[in-house]
Structure formats: structure tokens, C-alpha cells
Amino acid sequence: MATKPTKDVIDQKVGIQDTDNSLTGALRVKEDHPVIYPLSLPENDERQATPAVGQSATRSDARLHGLGQTQYIDDIKFPNMIYAKVLRSERAHAKIVSIDVSEAEAMPGVYATVTGKEFPTNSFGPTLQDQPVLADTVVRHFGDGVAAVAAVSEQVAQEALKKIKVVYEDLPVVLDPEEAFKDEILIHGPKSNTYASKVIKKGDVKKALAKADHVFTNRYKTQFVEHVPIEPHASIALWDGNGRVTLWSSLGRITLGREDISRTLDIPQSKVRMIGTIVGGNFGGKNEITNEPILALLSKKTGRPVKCTYTRGDEFVSSTIRHPFIMDYTTGINNDGKIVARKIRMLLDGGAYCSWTGTTIGKGSILAAGPYNIDNLQVESFAVYTNKTTTGAMRGFGAPQVCFAYESQMDEMAHALGIDPLTIRLKNTFREGSLSPTSQTLHSVVVEESLLQASEAFGWNRG
């Protein structure tokens, strides 16, 4: 019913001039020729109101979303645009002996190929720059990129990948983080597999645990999950005749993305332009570059705009995923429910490359004890390389993992001591001015308020 024009629409014979300029007056369109957008557009009061803060204003992109007019990267096309595909390793750990792209290059419809050694700086990463743009000596996880092809269509590019010959020498694979911790098989040798660690200590945990009425020891484990942004990663690169490269990318941080392009391709930042469109979901998975330097180099070699979008399979295998945590919590608590000491040891499965592990291990460790006043605390965390998909930034950076642990144990203790879960929390939570695990004075603290308000709204104490 919505696709039929309303009574206002008047059929117009081609060539008749419309003298009425008002938008709501004579809408001169042919019935079977839709306009690009409806001409009578509703206004939202909250967007007009002052003061602006506190208004439930409609989103500035909501209109175009609803009309299907928001331009995501994959909706953008340029004249002479070609398409790239990346060849990805089907081994979890192997030395690259040789890569032969000659047959792929010779295929009709293929414009260029690129391999890792063509990048002036073949590495990137927010803390440790241990991840190659394209692997050129070793592949460290199933899905690690080794070469790329730009061709007239996605199908031709996909076919061309099959013609790239890579000779591998298999290396032993280590998948279990506790195995990796032993350093018997090194993934980024000669470095230890333990590539990040964090310690937080205050008070005297040993003494306090010995004096506590009860000590609870529990292990909690979490799993690998994927962000699943509904829009897959996508980018387009255009290297123009002035030697300037423009990238349209679904990356969530374009300032740093420009720095990454500048560094990996060894060109000044003034020669790089990075544009972010509206992104179809990020959640942390689009906080790191993926194909951008590859497309930039392919565009330089071909003189054409080059686009590449991840398939849904690529999203799982070749974009970052959430760190699984193995968490051991030992907590000393007294009969009245007051926590007196907490000792935490955590092991993070750090995947094939570092990516955002530094932030995850840091935040996870700081938050691990929970929003509770604990004077005697020790947190020790480690992250290890394994030959699996890179673990990186994902909504919460370790917080969902540790919250699962500290709130599960809180309920364990509550149950064992016969104390209501709400009561035990209120006994221990931060207040305004409390000291955090790192001895920071906290302000604007409302955890108690949130507990009470939620309990009231839920009806916690009603039966």
C-alpha cells in the first residue's frame, strides 16, 4: 500500500512547464517513475528544542537509513574500479618457502598482484608491531594473508588466487594457551610466547587470606566469540596521478589509520587521505587495519580504484576475535560477608598476533577484582601467542570475562554464607571516594545506587 502514489500526484505530460514552485503543491511526477526521496518530510521536535542535552533527538542518519540511502563502503563504486581478493593460509603455522604469482598475473582480467615483501614496512599493531600486512616469512594462523590479486571482477580475482603457488614448510602448531605458556613451541621465536603481562598488588594478600574466616577458590573460563558486525569489513583505495592515495574504509579510527598507511607504504601523511563513511557496526573488530595498505599498493600498481570486502567467512577467520580468559580467583571473606583479600591469576589466549591484547590485559587486570573495596589484592595476568585467529579489541576489553568471574564467585560466596546476593554486594561495593585496586580515588561512584535501583525495578525482594 505504501508504494502507490497518493491523490496529490498529478500525471504530467513531458514538456509542460510547472509554474508552481511550492514543494507541497503540484508534485509533478509520473506514476511509475519514483522520485529519489519523498518531498514531504516530517520534523522531529526534540531536534529543534533547546537545551539540546537530554533530548531524545532522532538520529541524524535515521532518515537515510530508513530510505536505504546511507552509503556504506560496498555501496560506493567508481569508474574503472577493480576488485581485490586476498589469498589466505590454510595452515596454522608454517614457514613460507616461496610464493609464485606469475601464473595468476598472466591470467586475463588480472591487473596486478602484491606480496608482503613489497611493503616498505610490512608490520603493524597498536602496541607491538608484530603483525604483517601480508605474511612473507611465516604464517601463524589459518587465515593469515599471504598474497593479493586485483582483477576486473571478484570472480576473476577469486579464480586467480587458485593460480598463486605457495610452498610451505609446516611448523609445529600450538593451540592450547596453557601449552603455549610452556614455551616448548615458539610462535614469534626467539621471543617467549608470553608477550604481555600485568601485575596489580596492594596490601598483603597472603597474610589476609590466612586470617580470613573462609577462602573460596574457583576457576572460570570464557570462549572465543566474534563481533559479527552485520556489515563486513570493506575498503576502497584510489592512488591518483599526484601520488596521493585516498582510502575509504570501515575502520573505526581513521587518524591512526592514516598513520598506518604512511608507515607501511613509507609515504608522508600529507599524501594520504582516509575517509570513514557510516560503518555498519564495529564493536572493536574494525579498530585495526586489514586490507587498506594492500589495496593502496594495488591501486598504485594499476592506476585504478581497488575495492575489497570481507566475506562472512573472512570476518570469523581473518578479523580479530575476543580473548578467551582462564581465571583463577582465590578470595578471603569473613562470616559477615566482607571480602578481605583477593588473589587472581589470569591467562589470556592471545592468538597469532598482539593486536589489542595490551589494552585487554591491562583493563581486564584493573577491573578483575570487581567494584569492591578490597585492601589486600594481587592480580597477575599473562597473554600468550597461539596459532589461532588474532584476538583483539572487542566490546569490553576483558571486562565481560572478569565480570563473569567476580560476580559468579560473589554469588557462590553468598550462597555458602547464607547471605542474600544483594546484601553481600552492598557490604563490599565502592562508595564515593573509595580507592580502586590501583589506589585511585574514585569520583561519581554510583554502583550502590544501581544495585538498589535495579533491585527495586525488578522486585528482587518480593518473594
Sites for another protein among residues 29-58 (CB under 8 A): 29, 31-35, 37-44, 46-58
**Residues 352-391 contacting another protein, CB under 8 A:** 359, 362-363, 365-367, 370-371, 379, 387-389
**Which of 92/150 has CB closer to another protein?**
92
**Which of 122/391 has CB closer to another protein?**
391
Q: Crossing angle of helices 421-428/399-417, nearest 10°?
A: 110
**Strand 272-276 with 245-249, pairing:** parallel
Residues in Cβ contact with 275 at an 8 Å cutoff, skipping those fewer than 6 apart: 246, 247, 248, 249, 254
The correct pick among 81, 185, 422, 427 for binding another protein (CB under 8 A) is: 422
What whole-number distance in Å separates Cα of residue 85 and Cα of residue 391? 23
- Region binding another protein by CB under 8 A among candidate stretches 64-72, 112-120, 178-186, 291-299: 64-72
Residue 194 makes contact with another protein by CB under 8 A: no
- Region binding another protein by CB under 8 A among candidate stretches 12-20, 187-195, 205-213, 309-317: 309-317
Residues in Cβ contact with 86 at an 8 Å cutoff, skipping those fewer than 6 apart: 134, 145, 147, 148, 161, 291, 294, 308, 318
**Strand 376-384 with 339-349, pairing:** parallel
Bond before 190 cis per omega within 30 degrees? yes
- Region binding another protein by CB under 8 A among candidate stretches 180-188, 206-214, 226-234, 338-346: 226-234
**Residues 253-292 contacting another protein, CB under 8 A:** 253-256, 258, 269, 272-284, 286-287
Least Å distance, CB 102 to another protein, is: 28
- Region binding another protein by CB under 8 A among candidate stretches 13-21, 102-110, 245-253, 336-344: 245-253
Number of residues that bind another protein (CB under 8 A): 163
Least Å distance, CB 202 to another protein, is: 7
Residue 85 makes contact with another protein by CB under 8 A: no
How deeply is 461 buried, as exposed, middle or buried, from its count of CB atoms within 10 A (0-12, 13-18, 19+)?
exposed
Residue 93 makes contact with another protein by CB under 8 A: yes
What whole-number distance in Å separates Cα of residue 224 and Cα of residue 2? 44
**Which of 122/249 has CB closer to another protein?**
249
What whole-number distance in Å separates Cα of residue 68 and Cα of residue 62? 10
